[in-house]
Chain A
């Protein structure tokens, strides 16, 4: 079975500071990893994904994430936070070995709050 853990319910960062939102995963095979963002009363918007290749993945709105196989982590980062980045962030995984369900497995989400 595959699973995702987002250990922080909430992350507070001052505007202009770097931000990190943590994610660890567990799969039986090799993972496909995703980050999505959700604004209030909206659907999820895709930010970035890791499939294979370079461990550092760049995505939308200046976000990036680093895949670390030894630590089974896929933390989301941004060098300089904006107030508009405040939202709910979800990490998701899919085990492409085919052992799991065909849908994505999501973490519980992390509220990111950027303070002016």
Chain B
């Protein structure tokens, strides 16, 4: 059973470009979470999605950031007009249920560098 997959693993963008990060949850998991990790910091929750629904986006910046989890295909975290401060590792996690009883399984992350 493949784990959570994220691609690309490394992404370099110039300021003002768009970044698209993809996450395929574990088989059988329908809940996806996105986190951002800045250097020497813990992970910060960004958004929680189920298929075709955003459940909680309280951690998402108000501008330039969006996320989706379509009925078919991976979840996408999209950052428009990237700035240097967006440079970070972005982790996706999945769980089989939104119930707090289940731990979240993390992908290897996408390291975004904005030049």
- Chain A residue with the shortest CB-CB distance to B43: A106
Selected contact of A103 from candidates B4, B56, B103, B108, CB within 8 Å: B56
For A46, list chain B residues within 8 Å (CB).
103-106
Which of these binds chain A: B12-20, B44-52, B71-79? B44-52
Q: Give the size range of B's interface with the partner.
A: 20 to 34
Q: CB-CB contacts of B87-105 with A at 8 A, as 1s and 0s?
A: 0000101000010110111
Contact B103 A106 (CB under 8 A): no
For A109, list chain B residues within 8 Å (CB).
41-42
Contact A45 B106 (CB under 8 A): yes
Contact A43 B41 (CB under 8 A): no
Number of interface residues of A (CB under 8 A): 25
- Chain B residue with the shortest CB-CB distance to A91: B42
A60 to B4, CA, bound (A): 19
| B109 proximal to A (CB < 8 A) | yes
For B33, list chain A residues within 8 Å (CB).
102-104
CB distance from A63 to the nearest CB of B (A): 14
- Chain B residue with the shortest CB-CB distance to A48: B103
Contact B59 A108 (CB under 8 A): no
Contact B41 A108 (CB under 8 A): yes
A82 to B59, CA, bound (A): 37
Contact B107 A101 (CB under 8 A): no
Contact B100 A36 (CB under 8 A): no
A43 to B7, CA, bound (A): 13
- Using A42-B108, A101-B59, A103-B33 as known contacts, say yes or no to A34 and B103 having CB atoms under 8 A apart: yes
For B1, list chain A residues within 8 Å (CB).
none
A interface residues with partner B (beta carbon < 8 Å): 4, 32, 34, 36, 41-46, 49, 51, 90, 92, 94, 96, 101-109
Listed by A's residue number, 30 A-B pairs whose Cβ atoms lie within 8 Å are A4-B42, A32-B101, A42-B108, A43-B109, A44-B43, A44-B93, A44-B106, A46-B103, A46-B105, A49-B103, A51-B100, A51-B101, A90-B42, A94-B100, A101-B48, A101-B56, A101-B58, A102-B33, A102-B45, A102-B55, A102-B56, A103-B33, A103-B47, A103-B59, A104-B104, A106-B35, A107-B42, A108-B41, A109-B41, A109-B42
